[in-house]
Structure 1
Amino acid sequence: MTTLGLLHLVWERAGLHYWRPQFAGHRIDPKALRRAYATSSNIKIQRGITLDQVLCPVVSNDRGILYSTQRTIKDHSEKFRLYVIGRLSSAQADPYGKGYNIELSGVRDGYRMFMSISQAKWERLEKSHSRELAEFSRNEEGLSVFGLFLVTIDPIKNGKYKNFSSVQIEDAALMTTTEQLIPVESRYEAKIVELLVQEERTFIKPLRFDAARELVRPDFILTDIGKKEGYPMEVFGRTDEKYLARKAEKESYYARVFGSDNWWSWNAADGDPIPSLPDHALNQ
């Protein structure tokens, strides 16, 4: 599994790809990453090692998570590569020309990490996650970028920065999320999340993991309309020839599998208004 696949697995196991109205006001970074850490105990990354043993969440104002991360670094940094997870807050070119320096939200609140990535690995990250880095650069209100970083951590034992850690990023995966921490792949999808939340709907954002692009995967699935299989939703956001061919394949698939009236789509790239949503089931 790639690092992105692992990030998706962590998010799904923690239930962060799922939304219902009762979550409003409770889906915040500390609770989300605490849940991600707890559920990672069921993810085996190699024989005898579960993800929680090597996972270091970073978040502001949570002493429990801070203690857990500090303990993981102390107990395992000399034996294993670790995973750091958190919300991206800064990515700046190193002033000495040694790649980029990365900061996560909360890294200054006692985590004492100097995170860096080499120029070659940064360029690979730019290529594989250009969309997420573009969203981060735009700094659009309501959207954030979370990252999972495979790292080597060397505690600094002497000098001015004693008890800090030098963190070298070996691999990374980035994911854009809404204010509710729902992953999205475009600003069009973010608009749909905003609408669904406002309308107090219940839905799932299916995550791709490492699946091939040919796999038909809805952008969202409404789960409050009384159908066991849910109600697929697609946001069509491009107009290039290859994309339109793929769009036709998806339309044919949904019509065949769900019926022409049992799925929803928005032709966002054509400037169409957002269509009405299907009604709630009476028992929801």
Structure 2
Amino acid sequence: MQDNPARFATRLERAKKSPGYAVCCCRPSPGDTPLRLVVRRYGALFHLARWPDEGYRHDRDKCTFFAEPGPTEESPGRAHDAIRNTPAGLNAKLDVSLSVRTVGTVTRGASTGASRSTRRSAPLLGFLQRIWMDAGVNQWAGGTQRNWGTCNAQILALVGDGKMNGKPIQDVLYVMRRYEEAAQATLKAEFDAFLNRIQTTPAVSERGIVIAEIKSIDPSKYGFVIKIRQTFETFFTSKQLIEDAARSFRHAWPMIGKADARVVAVLVLERTKDGNLRVIDLAVQLCNKSFIPCDSSYEVAMANRLVEERRRFIKPMRLDDGDVMLPDFRLTDTSPETAIEVYGMESNDAYLIRKAQKQALYAERKLPCAEWIPPAPLSTVALPAAT
């Protein structure tokens, strides 16, 4: 259903109307209480999402809708959080303008003197990482593979009928669909309909945001061309933006186009006065072949090994300053769970100090931890057997 949502659209639409939900059969339901799933519409298709605060009820070992109680669960969040999960879907405020006046001046209303709290806004990378975590794409349940179609379904289930910067999220955000030869015309028409909403008039510039996997970034006569997978559409951008991005995302940038990695991007699109589409801002996230987020090429190698060995694990994601004990990965198929640390900056003195502190904390708290210290071969790392 996640890989081929069009095939099940009629049945999901019927379930959304009556009884108003789908049912997950990963484990027996206690009494007469079904294990419900939210049915969310996105364009002409429907997707399934876990019922708010019920992710922990699903089968931990087998079900993709399982989630530990906590930040990966859907909850309204605090009123001033930049990104909130609501029953209708995602409610996000990004620190980019999606509608910009191109003429005239902007006037501000007179201050009343009253104290007002301003809702925070999220940077593009923070937004991308947050939806990756909340959609559960940073978790691996021990399967053999995951393609872009599954990522698309999980993200769209999270997005739902939400809002972004006060606008209907389906009007301003497009998550690329997995390419299918048989549905090529439909996919192109759907993407073109979204791109046609991105317009620049003498009065206003309406922008759009696309989440997709980057295929390549190539120099052109006037700057660079960004090519994304799943479509033949290309986008132009400036040399300055590409140079800035290469510095900001220095671990992900060299991995673009590599066979053993994936690089996912969030692109802010604007239409020029000549009618061309250009990227005016972007953020990228490095992933392994199965779209598990990673912070370095070494982590990509480790995540690929864990998937190949069908281990169950999570990539913890630090969205702000916090837990110093957050590991690079955490095996969830051992008891107790096992931390995995990938140490890759042995020539940096400050890094070595933090590494020693972390190792001391693991020893003090008696927490199991498997370490990989490149350039030692990954094959030399002994991982505990799944329990």
Q: TM-score, normalised by structure 1?
A: 0.79
Aligned to 2:147: 28
Taking a change above 3 Å as real, the CA distance of residues 269 and 50 of structure 1, as seen in their structure-2 partners, is farther
Question: Counterpart of 1:266 in structure 2: which amino acid?
Answer: W
Taking a change above 3 Å as real, the CA distance of residues 102 and 271 of structure 1, as seen in their structure-2 partners, is same
Deviations, residues 62-87 of structure 1 (Å, cap 9, x unaligned):
55655543333334656642111111
Contact 1:17 1:206 in 2 (8 A): yes
Aligned to 1:173: 283
Contact 1:73 1:153 in 2 (8 A): no
1:40 aligns with 2:165: no
Question: Cα RMSD over matched residues?
Answer: 2.8
How far, CA to CA, are the matches of 1:43 and 1:268 in structure 2?
43
Shift of 1:191: 2.3
Aligned to 1:204: 314
Question: Counterpart of 2:248 in structure 1: which amino acid?
Answer: S
How far, CA to CA, are the matches of 2:223 and 2:318 in structure 1?
29
**Length, aligned pairs only:** 257
How far, CA to CA, are the matches of 2:187 and 2:129 in structure 1?
21
Shift of 1:204: 0.6
Taking a change above 3 Å as real, the CA distance of residues 245 and 69 of structure 1, as seen in their structure-2 partners, is same
Taking a change above 3 Å as real, the CA distance of residues 214 and 20 of structure 1, as seen in their structure-2 partners, is closer
Taking a change above 3 Å as real, the CA distance of residues 13 and 72 of structure 1, as seen in their structure-2 partners, is farther
Shift of 1:205: 0.9
Aligned to 1:144: 262
Question: Counterpart of 1:38 in structure 2: which amino acid?
Answer: A
Aligned to 1:18: 139
Q: Secondary structure at the match of 2:267?
A: strand
Question: Counterpart of 1:130 in structure 2: which amino acid?
Answer: R
Aligned to 1:87: 213
Question: Counterpart of 1:106 in structure 2: which amino acid?
Answer: Q
Deviations, residues 36-72 of structure 1 (Å, cap 9, x unaligned):
233123764323x354432223342255655543333
Q: 1 or 2 for the larger relative contact order (CA 8 Å, sep ≥6)?
A: 1
1:74 aligns with 2:222: no
Q: Secondary structure at the match of 1:268?
A: coil
How far, CA to CA, are the matches of 2:378 and 2:285 in structure 1?
27
Contact 1:41 1:50 in 2 (8 A): no
Taking a change above 3 Å as real, the CA distance of residues 90 and 235 of structure 1, as seen in their structure-2 partners, is same
Aligned to 1:245: 353
Taking a change above 3 Å as real, the CA distance of residues 37 and 53 of structure 1, as seen in their structure-2 partners, is farther
Contact 1:87 1:105 in 2 (8 A): yes
Equivalent residue for 2:341, pick from 220, 227, 234: 234
Deviations, residues 216-275 of structure 1 (Å, cap 9, x unaligned):
421101111134xx322111112121211121122123334x415x22222224568633
How far, CA to CA, are the matches of 2:264 and 2:299 in structure 1?
17
How far, CA to CA, are the matches of 2:290 and 2:371 in structure 1?
22
Question: Counterpart of 1:237 in structure 2: which amino acid?
Answer: G
Aligned to 2:331: 222
Taking a change above 3 Å as real, the CA distance of residues 233 and 129 of structure 1, as seen in their structure-2 partners, is same
Contact 1:116 1:168 in 2 (8 A): yes
How far, CA to CA, are the matches of 2:198 and 2:130 in structure 1?
22
- Identity among equivalent positions (%) equals 23
1:192 aligns with 2:302: yes
Contact 1:87 1:144 in 2 (8 A): yes
Aligned to 2:19: none
How far, CA to CA, are the matches of 1:53 and 1:201 in structure 2?
38
Contact 2:137 2:154 in 1 (8 A): no
Taking a change above 3 Å as real, the CA distance of residues 67 and 20 of structure 1, as seen in their structure-2 partners, is farther
Aligned to 1:104: 228
Deviations, residues 182-201 of structure 1 (Å, cap 9, x unaligned):
12222322222222123221
- The structure with the greater share of residues assigned to helix is 1
Equivalent residue for 2:370, pick from 249, 254, 264: 264
Taking a change above 3 Å as real, the CA distance of residues 2 and 154 of structure 1, as seen in their structure-2 partners, is same
1:122 aligns with 2:242: yes
- 1:53-64 mapped onto 2 (5 Å cutoff): 53-58=171-176, 59-61=178-180
How far, CA to CA, are the matches of 1:105 and 1:13 in structure 2?
23
Task: Please list every run of 5 or more consecutive structure 2 residues that lacks an aligned counterpart in the other structure.
Answer: 1-121
Q: Secondary structure at the match of 1:239?
A: coil
Task: Please list every run of 5 or more consecutive structure 1 residues that lacks an aligned counterpart in the other structure.
Answer: 157-164
Q: TM-score, normalised by structure 2?
A: 0.59
Contact 1:91 1:101 in 2 (8 A): yes
Q: Which has the larger radius of gyration?
A: 2
Aligned to 1:160: none
Shift of 1:141: 2.4
